[in-house]
Structure 1
Amino acid sequence: MEAKIFMARVADQAERYVDMVDFLEQIVDDSEGDVNTDVRNLLSVGFKNLISGQRSAWKTVQAIEQNKKYADYQSDCESYRGKIGEELASNCEKVINIVKDKCLQKAQEDEAKVFYLKMIGDYYRYTAESATGDQLAAVTENALKYYDEATKAGDNLKPYNSTKLGLALNFSVFYYELKNDSSKACSIAEESLNGAKEKIDEMDNEEARDALSIIELLKENLDLWKEEEANGDDDE
């Protein structure tokens, strides 16, 4: 087990994220119960880096495709973007299957359940970034399902728990970006912020360090979304 954890870290340093995920999947398989927090953090890093290049590439090709200077090559870019989108969807499905079928089954504590359910929601959301039609509708609904389940699983967590705050951050982004519902996005972010503020004096130093960076991101998003809503009202 320790050797595989070491090799997962080596693969991370070598930026060999397919290998890193393979090592981590073996670790999950070999674990009798849920993995510890350090391994969960490695899972988060490995999975995110597995798809980050494809997410970035898809957005880059989309920008070029939409540039009028390259109108003659629009169909070529569209085809290439589709290829990247299929690779992204495949890797997101791999992550979802590992988390849903292996990690979540061994989770006992509420925080671990929230962590995994949120992660499943996240990777359906990442799939949705490049999906269209029926696939977009399906992955959007799946993202909503797992974000909802994560929210219920986190009912008993402290409001300043970093996993719970991270869920609120990503769930609010889901509503803003995929549902085009800035009002609901603001509601989730505001409720999370208010809950954390009420209990902020109870945080110890480690909890504060983990929580405050997420709180700042929630505040930034909330301010931006409220400003957009106000400008939209002014335009009317």
Structure 2
Amino acid sequence: MNSEEVDRKIYLAKVAEQADRYDEMARHLSEIAQAGVPFDPERRNLLSVAYKNAVGTRRNALRVVTTLHAKESARGMETRAEDLAKYRMTIEDELDTTCADILKSLDALLSADPVKNADDVEANVFYNKMKADYHRYTAEFAAGDKRTMASDHAKAAYEAATTTALKLDPTHPIRLGLALNYSVFQYEILNEPREACRTAQAAFDAAGNHNPGTIESESFQDTNLIATLLHDNLMLWTQHNEELERQEAAALAAAKAAATVAATVTAPDTATSADEPSASSPTSAPKDELAKETSVEETPATEDAETKADDA
């Protein structure tokens, strides 16, 4: 693809953005990326905006349809539930196709030597973070082996990005945005709330201990926004973790109490002949149920925010 074709597609992508036609915007930028043309920061931002909006609208639609499907199923409205199930499959297919397309583009961009070798630190972190995010979005709706594979790919990309991001300042919006999204992945997909809190807390503390005078003025607002989101998630998740710990402790105490009662009931009566069981002592333990752990609906995490590098 020559420079004239690239410029033409960039222009059409910008027009599509102004018209809120994000699928078209994504298509133009994807063609450039998959042709092996390197992206400067402006083009990276355009690529992120295009796919974030193309995928974001479908993620929101999927949440709405899934909620409606559950409600109609609970009401016994079978026809409506079937229609919603088909609609959900359509949205999932669109999500799958869109995520696969951006992941193909990101692989092409990551294969460029400066990015692949992490010589361009910002680009390397930016692309690996995006790669992890879109594998995560796939894991949100996928099931079985496909979900496991998407989750594994997301984790590997987040870890790769996190390692390289150590070369950036702790207050850098891309590094903070990475920590935010990685922690959401740990919380929502891996179901590791404690790890999510550790990731978010470490990033928040590192940013807080950094000299604010060294933050570039154009990044200051983004840094504050992401730090606020990290803090909000930490507050929400900490409360949820504390509630889970209380329930686990209560369940454990109940189980121990039930085990003690069972042991007491089945213990032999020393005052009774071993040959003749006491009429007041049962020969077998009663089938008492142990205390069951209360099922808690997972509190949704604060939606992850993208950095300005993604939005601008």
Q: TM-score, normalised by structure 1?
A: 0.92
Percent of aligned pairs with the same residue? 34
What is the SS of the residue equivalent to 1:158? coil
Offset of residue 186 of structure 1: 0.2
Mapping of 1:106-185 within 5 angstroms?
Answer: 106=112, 107=115, 108-185=119-196
Mapping of 1:3-22 within 5 angstroms?
Answer: 3-22=8-27
Q: Is the 8 A contact 2:200 2:230 kept in 1?
A: yes
The match for 2:68 among 51, 64, 67 is 64
Q: Is the 8 A contact 2:30 2:101 kept in 1?
A: no
2-structure distance, mates of 1:25, 1:75: 35
The match for 1:40 among 37, 44, 49 is 44
Q: Which residue of 2 aligns with 1:87?
A: 94
Which amino acid in the other structure matches residue 41 of structure 2? T
Which amino acid in the other structure matches residue 82 of structure 2? S
In structure 1, runs of 5+ residues without a counterpart are none
2-structure distance, mates of 1:129, 1:29: 26
Offset of residue 30 of structure 1: 6.3
Cα distance change, pair 29–138 in 1 and its aligned pair in 2 (3 A): closer
2-structure distance, mates of 1:143, 1:90: 17
Which amino acid in the other structure matches residue 10 of structure 1? V
1:199 pairs with 2:210: yes
Deviations along 1:98-133, whole A, 9 cap, x unmatched?
111x21122241111000001010001001111111
2-structure distance, mates of 1:75, 1:134: 25
Say which structure, 1 or 2, has more relative contact order (CA 8 Å, 6+ apart): 2
In structure 2, runs of 5+ residues without a counterpart are 1-5, 251-312
Which amino acid in the other structure matches residue 99 of structure 1? L
Deviations along 1:130-186, whole A, 9 cap, x unmatched?
111111111111111111111112121111111111110000000000011110000
1-structure distance, mates of 2:126, 2:46: 13
Mapping of 1:96-111 within 5 angstroms?
Answer: 96-100=103-107, 102-106=108-112, 107=115, 108-111=119-122
Deviations along 1:24-62, whole A, 9 cap, x unmatched?
124435675x32211111111001112122212211111
The match for 1:208 among 209, 220, 225 is 220
Deviations along 1:202-226, whole A, 9 cap, x unmatched?
2132231221111111111011100
2-structure distance, mates of 1:56, 1:6: 28
1-structure distance, mates of 2:170, 2:21: 36
1:233 pairs with 2:245: yes
The match for 2:85 among 75, 78, 81 is 78
What is the SS of the residue equivalent to 2:77? helix
Q: Is the 8 A contact 1:160 1:200 kept in 2?
A: no
Which amino acid in the other structure matches residue 114 of structure 1? V
For these two proteins, the number of residue pairs brought into alignment is 234
